Amino acid sequence: MGRVAPSFEEVGGKQQPAVGLGETVSRTVSELRVAYESGRTRSLEWRQSQLRGLLRLLAEEEAAAFRALREDLGKHHAEAYRDELGVLVKSANAALREVWVPLIAFPARAQLEPQPLGVVLVFSCWNVPLGLSLEPLIGAVAAGNAVALKPSELAPATAKFLGDNIGKYMDATAVKVIQGGPEVGEQLMEHRWDKVLFTGSPRIGRVVMAAAAKHLTPVALELGGKCPCIFDTLGGSARDLQTAVNRVVSGKWSSCAGQACLAIDYVLVEERFVPVLIKAIKSTLKRFFTDSDHMARIVNARHFQRLSGLLKDTSVAASVLHGGKLDAKNLCIEPTILLNPPLDSAIMTEEIFGPLLPIITVKKIEDSIDFVKARPRPLAVYAFTKNAALRRRIVEETSSGSVTFNDAVVQYGIDSLPFGGVGESGFGQYHGKHSFEMFSHKKAVLTRGYLIELSARYPPWDGSKISMMRQLYRYNYVGFVLTFLGLKK
Amino acid sequence: MAEEAKAVVGELRASFKAGRTRPAEWRAAQLRAIVRMVEEREQDITDALHADLAKPSMESYLHEISLAKAACTFALKGLKNWMKPNKVPAGVTTFPSTAQIVSEPLGVVLVISAWNYPFLLSIDPVIGAIAAGNAVVLKPSEIAPATSAMFAKLLPEYVDNSCIKVVEGSVPETTALLEQKWDKIFYTGSGNVGRIVMAAAAKHLTPVALELGGKCPAIVDSNVDLHVAMKRLAVGKWGCNNGQACIAPDYVITTKSFAPELVDSLKRVLERFYGEDPLQSADLSRIVNSNHFHRLTNLVEDKEVAQKIVYGGQTDEKQLKIAPTVLLDVPLDTGLMTSEIFGPFLPIVTVDKIEDSIDFINSKTKPLAAYLFTKDKKLQDNFVSNVPAGGMLVNDVALHLANPHLPFGGVGDSGMGSYHGKFSFDCFSHKKAVLIRGFGGEAKARYPPYTTEKQKILRGLINGSFFALILALLGFPKEKR
């Protein structure tokens, strides 16, 4: 079989495919199929045991998880708990509490029977490497599927952590971790899956979906975008201003140093308000980041170069108001604020995914709505405002995966809210019950008895039968059908 | 052609951006216009369906026209409610805050329809797209040219042309449309073309709904009211476009011992329905075109297959008619048993025990629908739990598609996504999460520098502890001066 073109190149330079990689992947896939076909993953007991196993893993190996995240990203364990482990513990507990089991008692009427899709594949991402691996895993096992998890090779310590521990705490024949880079991803997509969830860049998202199309494999794509933050004047309250700035700073630099799909990408603010805002951000940065320990580093040299490249453009460099210091050895970029870089520069057309914050000024804050609308739909739109009319306009006129007012990123932890994108930021949603549904098929089941028979249904169809049906339908089609089917008195 | 497709999309994007399709009034007006069209032009629609498929007027009414009208009425009734945001609990961690899920249109969507229910399968998804507030292009199937032309002529007379358009054409026109960027593509048809649609959509990261086919099995147990079961089976097979329906039972499975009785009863029912010369019956659709006619006749050409015919088999190439045909125990490796028949042949497969039928079905790809005729509760349970399918019916056939409270769609090779009723609205909507916080409830514990005290409170907050919330709201940990 030929290689799928184009390939998954994320790192510059193709890696040599391992000998027998295709066979290894094929074997893994068939083992998962056998495990699923055995029916084991369908029982309530199995699903609960997997979720409990995961909770035990997160409790017992917490220190090792923190170490892995610090090694991969320089993430502080408070951030790691807040954004990854803590959320996972909450999700797994919630999944255990809800009894999302298929109805074993046979229905007497019309109903929906949720069934596992079968054998599913989860591609995770490097920036929230634990969370983006395990949150989908929770949904997939809660729904009764066998799961293959491919963590990102760009967060190798976390990938190893998962590889070492998942098999120990969960059913290793039905839940497998597959390590490797783009070539492994390619091999995996040569196979048919019952669902694939991909978190990552739009470029690779296209490749995954194109490969899935060959097998009619349904996909969900969690992509990114430039999440704007509309910052309104807040009625002059210094305390509220500080609260808002705390949240903006946290929503940019406390989220993996801005390397998060939900991080604030850029800020829109009225011209006259800029000095106040910048002063507040600067002082908050000083207060929060007392040492480099409290902000994640850039994941690797390639992304470091990409980010420094964004600042190389002379007109962009000229717009830097604060920060800009680059430490290539430690892969650290200090929090950087830019004021009105050119709108056609890369920093304003590509997702930044780093600790650089452009501030774009508008004449009236309402102008920011048109600004956002003119651009691809992001994963999230943020707005700090007390103006209810502005709030309503933002919800009604912009489109994004989600909208959060007066805070940022926190929507991720609310599992009653679906998490996912729209347009260029992706499709498919999960978290909470949505995770269960993402990996289920809701089968419609209708049962009839033999008592109610309507002879007009059957050929030969003459005028009287036809007019009888028409009569019934004209009266109340839906009611008629339901009565006809014995579902309505 | 590419230019035309681009122009059409461009015009719809402008209309959508201008906000034309968003107000409930606009959506309701379009839906009411479609109801009017169905009522005023029923004869035109019936004539087109007859021209394309020789569809009996009862089928046209029952399966296409009335279902289309019902879909509109159901959407009109539910619209205001469906458009309302759905409040959800926000929880302790972000207290105080309100959370809701808002449905918004995806934007500009493409509906590609099929030839067998050319009216319904075109208008039904369009109804969903409109109800959800989208601008929509309908590409009807060129294999049902009379219905396609009817749409192109009639729809513009009733609906808002700046937002709802019909584009006719075959492969080149469809390819040109698929190259454009859409916010969703809804395709009904074959798995082969479904793959092409999804691959085209991948280039633009466009989500798709694919309503495909498969071999819908019908298990018939001996524990049944056989006569009623056979009537329902027959009308679900041959009374649905003469078997050319994605949810028509493709084949029957029964026990070796019960098969003779079943065949007998089925023969009697068929003779009652279609008379001694079924090719003359006005109640049978014809085969859509000579391509499909020959595809079907080829399936029974092989002597090994032909000798298994126990009823029917008559064909009329000039009229493109094939009579209802029942076969018993054809070899399992012939085309009739390996591909979707989509025609009036009904193979009967026999097994030793009726429970074996479950494994037989599962050895094939997942079908759009699966049927079971039995009074045995245990068999029913087994069937529902262990047969993956888009939808299932026990003791009847095909009706589930008429229930607007049930999602209609496939799984695995039979497709992805579902619609009907509110599911149509959801199919063409984005469920946007909206979180509204105030400036109270500021929890210093969230922010760096991260101290041990902060982390304790933060943990509690994330785990939904009220105590931690109270501490956080009271400003703990207190800053040392």
Could you give the domains of chain B? Answer: 1-212+419-432 (3.40.605.10), 217-408 (3.40.309.10), 442-474 (no CATH)
Chain B positions in Cβ-Cβ contact with residue A385 (cut-off 8 Å): none
Nearest-CA distance from A458 to chain B in Å? Answer: 6
- Residue B462 and residue A221: Cβ atoms within 8 Å? no
CATH superfamily of this structure's domain A228-421: Aldehyde Dehydrogenase; Chain A, domain 2 (3.40.309.10)
Confidence of residue A200 (pLDDT cuts 50, 70, 90): very high
Cβ atoms of A143 and A117 closer than 8 Å: yes
pLDDT score of A489 more than 50: no
Residue A97 is predicted with a pLDDT of 84
- Could you report the per-residue pLDDT of A100-152, keeping only the tens digit for each? 544 333 334 678 889 999 999 999 999 999 999 999 999 999 999 999 999 99
pLDDT at position A327: 95
| Contacts A395 to B, Cβ<8 Å | 102, 432, 434
CA distance A315 to chain B (A): 32
Q: Find the residue in A nearest to B379 (Cα).
A: A106
* Residues A446, B394: C-beta atoms closer than 8 Å: yes
Contact yes or no for B462 and A403 at CB 8 A: no
Contacts of B406 in chain A (CB under 8 A): 110, 112, 444, 446
CB A393 within 8 A of CB A60: no
The answer on pLDDT for A430 being more than 70 is yes
| C-beta atoms of B199 and A214 within 8 A | yes
The pLDDT assigned to B401 comes to 82
pLDDT-derived band at A7, boundaries 50, 70, 90: very low
Global pTM exceeds 0.90: yes
A246 to chain B: closest CA residue: B447
Is A293 a residue whose pLDDT tops 90?
no
Q: For the residues A213-233, what does the mean pLDDT come to? A: 97
- Chain A / chain B CB contacts < 8 angstroms: 293
Chain A CB contacts of B13 under 8 Å are none
Among A229, A256, A261, A332, the one annotated catalytic: A261
Domain boundaries, chain A: 21-224+431-442, 228-421, 455-485
The pLDDT, as a whole number, for residue A89 is: 93
Which of A82, A213, A473 minimises the CB distance to B462?
Answer: A82
A346 touches B at CB < 8 Å: no
Give the per-residue pLDDT at B277: 94
- What is the pLDDT tens value at each position of chain B, 481 positions in all? 889 999 999 999 999 999 999 999 999 999 999 999 999 999 999 999 999 999 998 889 888 999 999 999 999 999 999 999 999 998 877 888 999 999 999 999 999 999 999 999 999 999 999 999 999 999 999 999 999 999 999 999 999 999 999 999 999 999 999 999 999 999 999 999 999 999 999 999 999 999 999 999 999 999 999 999 999 999 999 999 999 999 999 999 999 999 999 999 999 999 999 999 999 999 999 999 999 999 999 999 999 999 999 999 999 999 999 999 999 999 999 999 999 999 999 999 999 999 999 999 999 999 999 999 999 999 999 999 999 999 999 999 988 788 888 999 999 999 999 999 999 999 999 999 999 999 887 888 888 888 888 888 888 877 777 777 777 777 777 765 4
Alpha-carbon distances of B323 from A52, B243, B303, rounded to whole Å: 59, 11, 19
Is residue A72 over pLDDT 80?
yes
The per-residue pLDDT for B170 is 96
CA gap B113, B136 in Å, rounded: 13
Separation in Å, CA of A314 to nearest CA in chain B: 33
Selected residue with higher pLDDT from B479 and A212: A212
Least confident of A344-353, A464-473, B208-217, B304-313: A464-473
Q: Is B135 helix (H, G, I), strand (E, B) or coil?
A: strand
Of A209, A234, A442, the CB nearest to B407: A442
Check pLDDT > 80 for residue A465. no
Q: Residue A414 is nearest to which of B99, B104, B390, comparing CB atoms? A: B99
Q: What is the ipTM of this complex?
A: 0.94
In a mutagenesis test of the A interface, which of B414, B435, B457, B480 is the best target, namely the one with the most A β-carbons within 10 Å? Answer: B435
Please tell me if residue A401 touches chain B, with a CB cutoff of 8 Å: yes
Residue A432 pLDDT > 70: yes
Asked if A350 is an active-site residue, the reply is no
A292 has a pLDDT exceeding 90:
no
Residue A19's pLDDT band, with cuts at 50, 70 and 90, is low
B chain contacts of residue A102, beta-carbon cutoff 8 Å: 385
Return phi, psi of residue B101, to 5°.
-115, 120
Mean pLDDT of the region A263-287: 97
B351 in helix, strand or coil?
strand
SS3 B396: coil
Distances (CA, A) of A341 to A323, A326, A338, A358: 15, 19, 7, 7
Percent of chain A with pLDDT over 70: 90
pLDDT of A454 reads 73
Q: Do A213 and B195 touch (CB under 8 A)?
A: yes
Tell me, yes or no, if A252 comes closer than 8 A to chain B by beta carbon: no
Min Cα–Cα distance to chain A from B462, Å = 6
What rounded mean pLDDT belongs to chain A?
90
Please tell me which residue in A61, A135, A222, A424 is annotated as part of the active site. Answer: A222
Contact status of A413 with chain B (Cβ, < 8 Å): yes
Q: What is the mean pLDDT of residues A261-282?
A: 97
- Residues β-bridged to residue A175: A147
pLDDT classification of A17: cutoffs 50, 70, 90: low
% of chain A at pLDDT higher than 90: 80
Q: How far is CA A403 from CA A392, B98, B100, B190, in A?
A: 11, 12, 10, 38
- Catalytic residue status for A125: no
Report d(CA A415, CA A430) in Å as an integer.
Answer: 9
3-state secondary structure chain A: CCCCCCCCCCCCCCCCCCCCHHHHHHHHHHHHHHHHHCCHHHCHHHHHHHHHHHHHHHHHCHHHHHHHHHHHHCCCHHHHHHHHHHHHHHHHHHHHHCCCCCCCCCCCCCEEEEEECCEEEEECCCCCCCHHHHHHHHHHHHCCCEEEEECCCCCHHHHHHHHHHHHHHCCCCCEEECCCCHHHHHHHHCCCCCEEEEECCHHHHHHHHHHHHCCCCCEEEECCCCCEEEECCCCCCHHHHHHHHHHHHHHHHCCHHHCCCCCCCEEEEEHHHHHHHHHHHHHHHHHHCCCHHHCCCCCCHHHHHHHHHHHHCHHHHHCEEECCCEECCCCEECCEEEECCCCCCHHHHCCCCCCEEEEEEECCCCHHHHHHHCCCCCCEEEEECCCHHHHHHHHHHCCCCEEEECCCCHHHHCCCCCECCCHHHEECCECCHHHHHHCEEEEEEEECCCCCCCHHHCCCCCHHHHHHHHHHHHHHHHHHHHHHCCCCC
Range A421-425 average pLDDT = 97
Sheet containing strand A146-150, strands side by side: A175-177, A146-150, A119-123, A195-199, A219-222, A426-427
- Look at domain A21-224+431-442 and name its CATH class: alpha beta
Average pLDDT for A296-322: 95
Mind giving me the DSSP string for B104-127? EE-SEEEEE--SSSTTHHHHHHHH
Give the catalytic positions of B in this structure: 211, 246
pLDDT band for position A481 (50/70/90)?
Answer: low
CA B184 to CA A354: how far, in whole Å? Answer: 31
More confident residue, A369 or A477: A369
